[in-house]
Amino acid sequence: MIKTNFTLGVIYGNRDFFPDALVAEARADMARLFRNLGISAVQLSEKASKLGGVETYAEARKCAELFKQNRERIEGVLVVLPNFGDEKAVADTLKLAGLNVPVLVQGYPDDPGKLSPARRRDSFCGKISVCNNLVQAGIRFSLTTRHVCHPLSAAFENDLRRFLRVCRVVNGVRGARLGAIGARPGAFNTVRYSEKLLERHGVSVTTVDLSEILAAAGRLGSNAPAVRDRLAEIRAYAPAPGVPAEKLAQMAKLGVAISEWMEAHELDATAIQCWTSLQRNFGCNACTLMSMMSEKFLPSACEVDVTGVLTMYAMQLASGTPAALVDWNNNYADDENKCVLFHCGNWAKAFLPDIRISNAPILGSTLGIENTYGALEGRTGPGPLTFGRITTADAEGAIRAYVGEGELTADELNTFGNRAVARVPNLQKLMRYICRHGFEHHVAMTQSKTAAVLREAFGNYFGWEVYEHEPAEG
């Protein structure tokens, strides 16, 4: 499941010749905001330092120690500047704590009518100094949309919500455990990738031969409790008109075998060799099972596309909704900004209001339709679209990504499988970028508007080369 409750470490910057009341007011503002958003705070008490602020090296050490004691809870750090603040103390706190989590720097705005010593803040200037020190220390951080903004403003609430999503992506991708079931299809060089580059960024890949999964499924009896339960789950998940009962039973056994392997290795996501060995040696498609996993926020990608499923995982963390892996598949008539998104049938149910279990006509043309039951039929309707892709540029020893937004439309589309029509601004430019930089034909999508979150996580915190297509201003 997607985590929805958050804990942030909070640093209240202070400087002694500014009014103490400003720090006390900031603590009250943050308490109100955190209460409204369901955020827990780890912060110095008002008795642990002057008003719970951080100004001296001793206070920085005290705050850092508190953060270290709560290392397992803290998912990000918010730096609050009710006044100019002490830039060294803020940087020292983060260096000493060594949390390696995202940081957001906020500064309070001044009221032009209250610039007397009794109410003057100078956070506008102090924020620049704090950020300068963080850059010197090599500490990555995020900024608010407006240079200074009040914590109780709508603008800051939006910034904070976006930051929480960034935290979820960064912390989730670091330490992600992916499973690769089987070898990639022989004809699909496009899904090659570097395990070593992923490992360098905290992403591990556990592999298993497809034959081991099929053998485990084959040993399961039809009356095994786990098989009966999985069969009932499949029947409840989607209608299956015309699908033979024995094929549903095969799918149930395969699903149990995959789940048991995932649980044994504590995996977050899988990429599966979904053709042609599966159809030839077991006699069904894995699409429905993969859809069910993705719907449960355990994303599953076809064709052993490991960096594709990593993209799905990151994108579901950003959006809080299931992700799908799709093909940039067809042009849409003569519209230069529309295209068809397609796959033979493993998108999460959230994308498919008219979902049903069927077969795969393209694979069936060579493998036999009777061996492809388990593919899904369904059309995704109109709504928001975020798309993205992570790839390993092995020759350069780098990881690259692109992200962007568009919309899913209601344009007529008469075909089979899982399908949608997408409108992407300046689509031809995007296609040139994808081709020129050697990206895969697979792209991940969510029904959200979260490209900025992904850009911040990938580019700022992971240091990847990120192209954001046609970003919105701000």
Task: Write out 120-187 in H/E/C secondary structure.
Answer: CCCHHHHHHHHHHHHHHHCCCCEECCCCCCCCCCHHHHHHHHHHHHHHHHHHHHCCCEEEEECCCCCC
- Mapped onto helix, strand or coil, the DSSP state of residue 445 is strand
Whole-number Cα distances in Å, 272 to 213, 287, 312: 11, 10, 14
- Mapped onto helix, strand or coil, the DSSP state of residue 289 is helix
pTM (whole model) above 0.95: yes
Q: How many Å apart are CA 84 and CA 111, to the nearest integer?
A: 14
Q: What is the largest CA-CA distance in the chain?
A: 82
Q: How many CA atoms lie less than 13 Å away from 75 in the CB half-sphere?
A: 20
Which H or E element spans position 271? strand 269-272
- Mapped onto helix, strand or coil, the DSSP state of residue 83 is coil
pLDDT in tens, the chain (474 residues): 677 789 999 999 999 888 888 999 999 999 999 999 999 999 999 999 999 999 999 999 999 999 999 999 999 999 999 999 999 999 999 999 999 999 999 999 999 988 887 788 999 999 999 999 999 999 999 999 999 999 999 999 999 999 999 999 999 999 999 999 999 988 889 999 999 999 999 999 999 999 999 999 999 999 999 999 999 999 999 999 999 999 999 999 999 999 999 999 999 999 999 999 999 999 999 999 999 999 999 999 999 999 999 999 999 999 999 999 999 999 999 999 999 999 988 999 999 999 999 999 999 999 999 999 999 999 999 999 999 999 999 999 999 999 999 999 999 999 999 999 999 999 999 999 999 999 999 999 999 999 999 999 999 999 999 999 999 875
Tracing tokens 């499923």 back to the chain, one arrives at 309
Q: How many Å apart are CA 148 and CA 6, to the nearest integer?
A: 24
- Strand-strand pairing, 418-423 and 398-409: antiparallel
Locate 183 and state its tokens.
Answer: 């070898």
